A and B are shown apart, each in its own frame.
Chain A
Amino acid sequence: MTATRATAGDNLRHDNGSWRLMLLVSVPALVAACLTIDGLLRLLPADMWWRALVAADFTDPRQLLYRHAFLPRVAISLLAGAALGLAGTILQQVLRNPLAEPTTVGTNAGASVALTIATLYAPWMLESGREWIAIAGGAATTLAVFGLARGRSFSPIAIIIAGLVISLTCSSASALLMAANREYSAELFIWQSGSLVQNGNATVLKLAPWLLLSAGAAFLLSRQLRLLDLSDESAASLGASPISTRLSGLGIAVALSGIVVAAVGVIGFLALAAPALVKLAGARTLRQRMIWASLAGAVLLWFTDRLVQILPFASEIPAGTATAFLGAPLLFLLLPRMRITPDRDRAMSPVARRRNGWAWLVPGLVVTAVAVWAALAMGRGSGGWHWAAWGELVELLPLRAPRVAVALSAGAMLAVAGTMMQRMTGNPMAAPEVLGISGGAALGVLLLFVSLSTFNRPALLAAGLMGAVVSLLLISPTGNRNALAPDRLLLAGVAVATMASAFSAVVLAGGDPRLDTLIAWLSGSTYTATVNDAFTAALTAILLLAIVPLTARWLEILPLGEAASLCLGLGLTRVRLVLLALISVPTAVATLVIGPLSFVGLMAPHMARMLGFQRARPQLFASAILGGLILLCADWAGRMLIFPWQIPAGLLAALVGGPYFLVLLWKRRQ
């Protein structure tokens, strides 16, 4: 009763805002409806619509298309959109985090990798429907994320970090499987890009009951979910169990997103954007947000899917990609108006062992030197393993040295950039990839790739650098309006990164025969490293390591928060601009030489801290060494493990580093 009255009161109070909600839903709905009717009229005269629906004559191709392609497609866009909007709202409520969506909690990655494995190695399993495989995979990864976050009472940040790491590990695994089975993976490329093209009623009929059940459960649970707005202690004192509420909420969200992923693939951005838009338009209470976000999700996906069909391209752009393209700029526009309450739940809590560090750097450098030597001299040939003798080494050096140098310097640069970002934003999720610089560089390269039929290395480098600079320019003013507020910066970065990955998905789905090279770059291969690359990367790394120690004082103070930083006399805008430049340049260079897969930038700083390097300067150097070592070892192993085939260093680093990172998180949990 109380809850109902509160909702009604809320409605009254925010009545002046509801026209914005109506606008948000009705404008895209109207346009989509016009486009749909237009499409229908082209297909079938209006007087036949009803007859073809109830008693279709399939000898008429128009009626066939109408019944088995057109209508299912409209239905699926509405259903999937609503499901994603709802799933996003629940996740954001449960995790108290505006960045939460099925991708962040690892559901999509788990579903994706499960389907990839089933498709490539056990296609007979698909006969009974791919839904179960996808849901099982999504549930498994999401459960793993829960397990990791449980010891910390499902702290939002812990869940997001665990989800991010598991996602990266899973998507590296699928990328690797797909690279090894290139010609058999076309379906997976298309599926990953989220196409809504339907070939019958089956998918809609499967999806609808699932959605109804989950939505019903979600609304039944909405009262408990509301209590999560309070702190966990207050909720517990009201007799609610925050943990069981969270688990059931997440369970519903996982079911919703899992079934959507199984049905149409990964629809980017919608689960993030719909709830955010609805909140901005003035929906306050959870129930309001759930209803409006479902509506908004449905019409936005419908609208997007109609839009991609009237775009004049030879190959259709999948709706899942288009949502990311339309949504990301929207997020840029809305960012300055978005109210974000940063959750500063310290994932950066002190560790028992503290090392001041300098003494440990010497053995670190020795290990690095040995590793470099091994990576240069030890290898496989047609005759098996052997250490290269001097004469042979001279021959091999031009092939191996640039790759070793590139891997080492890129790893070190990304690690340093990651350390700086995490300290600057006070956000343990921060990594160069999240800032969007890698994403921007990737976009530049991809655009060059599709606009020219031939391309060479200098053009590639230039395009990448352009992309990095443009994304930097895009991001800076977004944050600037609020003194480069860390969380806005991250959100802007996420928008760029989403666009880049969406765009690469659509290029990959296009089936261009030059894809091998592109896939290699996207997955962090050092194969194309030239002597020039090696020098550029090494020089940038050395310069960075020389300059960065000078910023140590800032990096000590910034994690204490804005107020403390101001008290201690830091000019925040100036400091952040300098740090931003120090982060972006090496990130851009590293991305150009090793691709946008920069897991190292997230991982190395955490590893350094977990090893006890707490203070800024030792942490910077320790993570530089660790980052360099990770990529170096990954590159060497990638060249040798399945000789003469090669595994990209970035992929291998994520594949091996991800689980290792999770083990560290797990241990620390106790």
Chain B
Amino acid sequence: MVISLGIEPIAVADTKGYRDWAVAPELPAGCLDLGSRGEPNLELLLELKPDLITGAYGFGLDEAPFKRIAPLHMVPFYDGTQAPYRQAEAETLKLGERLGREAEARHLIAQTAATIEDARARLTGQAAALAVVSMFDDRHVRVYGGGSLLQDVLDRMGIVNAWTGPTDSWGFATMGVEELVAIGEAQVVSLEPIPLHVKIRIEQSSLWANLPCVKAGKVTAIPPVWPFGGLAAAARFAGFLAALA
């Protein structure tokens, strides 16, 4: 979110994880690794003397130690107050104010809406339902539904989510692959990266091979999109969906 507003962070937690799973917007080359996302290294943070620390709210991190080092700006996502996309817009504005980049924030919001609108336009005529999944093992999929950022993007693009089952407060459900029968021959979009060990096992599965959607050749992988991300992730997702058509 910070990068989307045109500011280069001096350090980010779990840079490798970010590059594998979120990919864009790209981290600047000189960006330092702060350690894990659960335990950013406070000693390194203290040494770097940053002007501002931003973090996502709701991951259970205690704010107090960060506040002692530098001013802290927390971004609440998935706290259940608003649909994730709306919240992402509101938080982008807030962050823009905090960083003195209101213009950039408004631009990002408008640009994201335009990207999604553009993606929707490219889809015309093809309003087939699809399901979005992450594959973490050969017997289960994580399917995104109501309450997720990805669902909001689908809604804005006028695409029906083929998965209508219940989801948790983060907008997804983990379930056995056989439940995918429920979506019939609908399109399945799976988010990369799919670990090699999962690919191997999936290929050996007779159930997977016989699923209607797999048999119909309707499973497509798209490059990584961080499903718990902000506007940049939403725009990225919309772009990939449009490219599928």
Contacts and interface: CB of A to CB of B under 8 A. Distances in A.
A617 to B, nearest CB: 39
A449 B42 CA distance: 24
B38 A520 contact: yes
B80 A511 contact: no
Interface in B24-79: 32-39, 41-44, 46-48, 57-62, 64-65, 68, 78-79
Contacts of B206: 68, 199-202
Of listed B60, B138, B140, B184, residue having the most chain A CB within 10 A: B60
Interface string B1-31: 0000000000000000100110000000000
B46 A399 contact: yes
Contact of A191 (B34, B43, B137): B137
Contact of B138 (A182, A199, A510, A517): A199
A525 B48 CA distance: 23
Contacts of A200: 204-208
A382 B48 contact: yes
Contacts of B140: 190, 195, 197
Interface string A519-540: 1100001011010000000000
Interface stretch (A16-24, A123-131, A267-275, A618-626): A123-131
Interface string A125-169: 011000000000000000000000000000000000000000000
Contacts of A514: 58-60
A119 B136 CA distance: 12
Given A69-B207, A202-B204, A395-B46, A316 B59 contact: no
Nearest to B208: A199
Contacts of A449: 60
B36 A457 contact: no
A11 interface: no
B186 to A, nearest CB: 12
A516 interface: yes
A230 interface: no
A454 interface: yes
A316 B177 CA distance: 12
B237 interface: no
Contacts of A7: none
B222 interface: no
A519 B196 CA distance: 24
A412 to B, nearest CB: 24
Contact of A516 (B43, B44, B59): B59
A190 B173 CA distance: 13
A190 B136 contact: yes
Categorize the interface residue count of chain A. Answer: 35 or more
A61 B184 contact: yes
Interface string A11-46: 000000000000000000000000000000000000
Nearest to B40: A644
A359 interface: no
A455 B59 CA distance: 9
A68 B21 CA distance: 32
Given A183-B17, A510-B168, A64 B200 contact: no
A294 interface: no
A110 B137 CA distance: 21
Contact of B43 (A316, A399, A511): A399
Contacts of B85: none
B176 A69 contact: yes
B27 to A, nearest CB: 15
A187 B137 contact: yes
A68 B62 contact: no
B228 interface: yes
B174 A509 contact: yes
Given A182-B17, A197-B139, A199-B139, A399 B32 contact: no
Given A187-B195, A644-B33, A315 B41 contact: no
Contact of B136 (A123, A124, A187, A195): A187
Given A61-B181, A197-B139, A187 B39 contact: no
Given A190-B140, A199-B138, A399-B46, A184 B195 contact: yes
A453 B68 contact: no
A210 to B, nearest CB: 18
B201 interface: yes
Contact of A528 (B62, B174, B184): B62
A64 B38 contact: no
A64 B59 contact: no
A202 B39 CA distance: 41
Interface string A46-73: 0000000000001001001100110000
A395 to B, nearest CB: 6
A517 B65 contact: no
B45 to A, nearest CB: 9
A453 B80 contact: yes
A381 interface: yes
B167 interface: yes
Contacts of B165: 314
A199 B37 CA distance: 34
A643 B200 CA distance: 34
B61 A517 contact: yes
A224 interface: no
B57 A68 contact: no
Contact of A197 (B44, B173, B176): B176
Given A197-B176, A202-B204, A395-B46, A453 B58 contact: yes
Contacts of A198: 139, 207
A171 to B, nearest CB: 19
B166 interface: yes
A398 interface: yes
A399 B42 contact: yes
A315 B35 CA distance: 30
Contacts of B172: 511
Nearest to A188: B137
Interface string B194-227: 0111101100111110111000000000000000
Interface in A195-224: 195, 197-202
Contacts of A518: 60
A243 to B, nearest CB: 40
Interface string B157-186: 000000001111110111111100100100
A183 B211 CA distance: 26
27 contacts: A61-B212, A64-B207, A64-B210, A64-B211, A64-B212, A65-B178, A68-B207, A69-B176, A123-B200, A124-B196, A186-B136, A190-B174, A197-B139, A197-B177, A202-B204, A399-B42, A399-B65, A453-B58, A453-B80, A453-B169, A516-B39, A517-B61, A518-B60, A520-B38, A645-B33, A645-B41, A646-B41
Interface of A: 58, 61, 64-65, 68-69, 119, 123-124, 126-127, 179, 182-184, 186-187, 190-191, 195, 197-202, 314-316, 379, 381-382, 395-396, 398-400, 449, 453-457, 509-520, 525, 527-528, 530, 639, 643-646
Interface of B: 17, 20-21, 32-39, 41-44, 46-48, 57-62, 64-65, 68, 78-80, 136-140, 142, 165-170, 172-178, 181, 184, 195-198, 200-201, 204-208, 210-212, 228
Given A200-B206, A516-B60, 12 more contacts: A187-B137, A200-B207, A200-B208, A315-B168, A381-B43, A517-B59, A517-B61, A519-B38, A644-B32, A645-B41, A646-B36, A646-B41
Task: For the complex of A and B, list the 6 residue pairs with the smallest distance between their C-beta atoms, beginning with the closest.
Answer: A516-B38, A187-B137, A186-B136, A200-B206, A123-B197, A517-B60
